[in-house]
Amino acid sequence: MNDEKEVMPKGDLDAVIKQTMSEAEAAVDGVRDPDPSPSAEGASATEASPADLAARIEELTRDNEGLRDKWLRAVADHENFKKRTKRELEDATQRAVQELLSSFLPVADNLERALEAAGKNEDEFVKGVRMVASEFYAALAKHEIVPVEAVGKPFDPSVHDALQQIDSPDHAPGTVVLEFERGYLRAGRLLRPARVVVAGAGSGTNLATDSADPEDDATNHGT
């Protein structure tokens, strides 16, 4: 048996080396400049046109404007809710305060009745009552509570409660003649109407006589 290795001829060896070098160079070139992949070809094939992009931008702009309008409406609704809640709370507070203060008005009524019954009597007890009444009215005024003007004023259904009508020769029709119970206002709001008597349609006869024209009287005397 022949154990010696076969030796490749020099010319064949050169050919193999050249072929290997060529394959290596081709592989390197393939890495540097790869063929377009199917996904890249698809992307270039589906690339949007300028008109499509403009339409998309317009669509997104409309969507953005719609969202902005919704946001502005939501903000406005929230502000209105806050104002309405604050107003309702203030109204509820005012009603509670008015109810509390109204409960003190009968005290004022009793003080007035006591002083009317006393008349011109100025003993120490009456003086004490007058002092209490004065302090009580001052406390009411401190809380912006003032009496409703009644006697001698034209009847006003918003602040007067007419209990009766009478003919009064000294008052014009529709004028408040008497006050049975004083009314009160608090900060311009009615706490309690004044309960009054009003002059009827046949009133004011003395006023008509007093308002006669002096020149007419002089003319009549001259004749």
**Euclidean distance between CA atoms 147 and 160, whole angstroms:** 12
Predicted local distance difference test score (pLDDT) of residue 52: 82
Task: Assess if residue 70 is contained within a domain.
Answer: no
Task: Assess if residue 13 is contained within a domain.
Answer: no
Task: Assess if residue 6 is contained within a domain.
Answer: no
pLDDT in tens, 34-62: 555 555 444 444 567 888 888 888 888 88
Q: Which CATH number fits the domain that encloses residue 174?
A: 2.30.22.10
Helices (H), the chain: 10-32, 38-45, 50-102, 105-118, 124-142, 205-210, 214-222
Task: Assess if residue 15 is contained within a domain.
Answer: no
Task: Assess if residue 175 is contained within a domain.
Answer: yes
Task: Assess if residue 58 is contained within a domain.
Answer: no
- Helix 105-118 × helix 124-142 angle, to 10°: 150
- Count of CA atoms in the C-beta half-sphere (13 A) of 204: 14
Predicted local distance difference test score (pLDDT) of residue 161: 93
pTM: 0.50
Predicted local distance difference test score (pLDDT) of residue 223: 45
What are the phi and psi torsion angles at 166 (to 5°)?
-135, 155
Task: Assess if residue 194 is contained within a domain.
Answer: yes
Domain that holds residue 200: 146-212
Tally of structural domains, the chain:
1
Predicted local distance difference test score (pLDDT) of residue 107: 82
Note down pLDDT in tens along the chain; length 223 residues. 444 445 555 556 567 666 766 766 666 555 455 555 555 444 444 567 888 888 888 888 888 888 888 898 888 888 898 888 888 888 887 787 777 777 778 888 888 888 777 777 777 778 888 888 888 888 888 888 889 999 989 999 999 999 999 888 888 888 999 999 999 998 888 889 999 999 988 776 776 555 555 555 555 555 4
